[in-house]
Structure 1
Amino acid sequence: MIKVVILGGGNVAFHLTNQLLKNTSVNLVQVYNRTIKNIKYLEKQISITNKLKELKDVDIYIISVSDNAIAPLSKKLDFKNKLVVHTSGSVNITEIKSISNKGVFYPLQTFSTAKNIHFSEIPICIEASTKKDLELLETLAKSISKKVYHINSNQRKSLHVAAVFVNNFVNHLYHIGNDICDKNNIPFEILQPLIKETSEKIKTLKPSVAQTGPAKRNDTTTIKDHLDILTKNQQEIYTLLTQSIIQTYGKKL
């Protein structure tokens, strides 16, 4: 059985901890966090600590903290012949500064503590400095997910950028759409079937084929009407995205 320690108390660590606690093929031995109160809820289920010198001896140490904290924290983990990994999408494997073996265990999903996650459908992207460690990470990943990918640091950096476009930026556009609805006393729920259909459609169609709208069809009248009712900031975003769509499909305003 793989023995694991998780270091961190944020959103990813929260969900990963809960998942591994339910996993009968993995022994989650301990959770560490610098601020003990953030993991106090675990004290009746598992060993918790805010002291690195109290870390248990395990096979894998999973660092799940903010990107800029990975290097300084890992530097303090002097575990020879043990595997230390991080869960970041954008941080290179070389940023793990411990003398241990190095790896990455990146679950590609948006995490919020208020929303339950089904890990079996989450892609887990793994990387390791040795073949043996890669096999160990693959065993761990397959114990919680049906979708495991070998992704190196350069690929993962590009993947993370792509994820920002399809998740963070798209969610911000939802926010803008919600504001426009609120301003005009329209329930945002009216748009939810459209949002659902858009996300479902790209499961079977390339996004380039699924693209519709006034910019795609070069409808300058509708584009102007839209711009007239938007705030300055919304106009800038609308115009930038419209120009990108036009450039993609070879049409001019």
Structure 2
Amino acid sequence: MISTVIIGNGNVAHHLDKAFLKAKTIDVIKINSRNLSNIPKADITIIAVSDNAIEEVSSKIENSFVVHTSGSFSMDNLQNKTRKGVFYMLQTFSRDKEIDFSKVPFCLEAETEKDYILLEKLAKSIGNKIYNITTEQRKTLHVAAVFVNNFTNHLYKIGADICDTNNVPFEILQPLIDETASKIKQLKPASAQTGPAVRNDTETIKNHLDLLSKEQQTIYKILTKSIQKSNKPE
């Protein structure tokens, strides 16, 4: 059994705790980051709090092996005086949406090979996709993830706003969203690009802008310019 303590009360801590509780090879305890006076001893202590709180929380932990779950926080910035590591899951976590950890990439990092093997064993107890990723690679992955997930979801929100304003059901766009996500499993994103920007359809672009608010126009123009620049012949 791998004894594990999860510190945190957010979405990542919530889903990780649920997954570990189902695993037969893990003994897990979850505690709130505000209650650090009596942290149980464990093989691995996982800090699953906001990036801004990691340093403070880690400075109060005396357990032998401490890791965090952040995509952008350096392993070396952990403030515990013992062994350090990273247990980063590259996925979006919402409390009310179940997570299939067998499909989640685990990006692991540790100071020693022995600790990496322990983290790998922990990850394999709930998942299949394990990667040995350095801090710099993880930071790069995290910013790429912001583009493909957070920014993309914000564009969904804008699309939903446009639909709501014009009394059109957003669900009409769902098949298009699904096809776009499916298509890039077979094609490179550059090859999958379609639309008025890549076609340089100036009349359609003008008509679209006339339908949008000023903020939406700004975003539309920036993305249109970026698409056109990306598709210019070298």
Deviation at 1:78, TM superposition (A): 2.1
- DSSP 3-state at the match of 1:53: coil
Q: Distance in 1 between matches of 2:33 and 2:208?
A: 49
Q: CA RMSD in A?
A: 1.0
Does the residue aligned with 2:152 lie in a helix, a strand or coil?
Answer: helix
* Match status 1:250 vs 2:232: yes
Q: 1:116 aligns with which of 90, 94, 98?
A: 98
Residue 136 of structure 1 aligns with which residue? 118
Q: Quote the residue 1:47 is aligned against.
A: none
Task: Give the secondary-structure state (helix, strand or coil) at the position aligned to 1:91.
Answer: coil
- Is 2:135 the counterpart of 1:159? no
- Residue by residue over 1:30-81, the C-alpha shift from the partner in whole angstroms, topping out at 9 and shown as x without a partner, is 211045xxxxxxxxxxxxxx2x2322221000000010110111011123xx
Structure 2 match to 1:43: none
Aligned position for 1:32: 31
Q: Write out per-residue CA displacement over residues 86-120 of structure 1, whole angstroms, 9 at most, x where no aligned residue.
A: 00001000111101100000011111111111111
Q: Deviations over 1:117-170 (max 9, x none)?
A: 111111111000111100110111111111111111111111000000000000
Aligned letter for 1:212? T
1:169 to 142, 147, 151: 151
Runs ≥4 in structure 1, deviation > 2 angstroms?
A: none
Q: Does 1:60 align with 2:59?
A: no
Aligned equivalents of 1:102 and 1:170: distance in 2?
33
Q: Secondary structure at the match of 1:106?
A: strand
Unaligned runs of 5+ in 1: 36-49
Partner of 1:204: 186
> In 2, Cα distance between the equivalents of 1:166 and 1:206?
13
Instruction: State the identity as a percent.
Output: 58
Alignment length (residue pairs): 233
Amino acid at match of 1:25: T
3-state secondary structure, aligned to 2:131: strand
**TM-score, length-scaled by structure 2:** 0.97
Structure 1 SS opposite 2:167: coil
Q: Is the 8 A contact 2:12 2:48 kept in 1?
A: yes
Stretches of structure 2 lacking an aligned partner (at least 5 in a row): none
Tell whether the 8 Å contact from 2:11 to 2:94 is kept in structure 1 after alignment: yes
Q: Give the whole-Å Cα distance in 1 for the aligned partners of 2:30 and 2:171.
A: 40
Higher mean C-alpha deviation, range 70-79 or range 183-192: 70-79
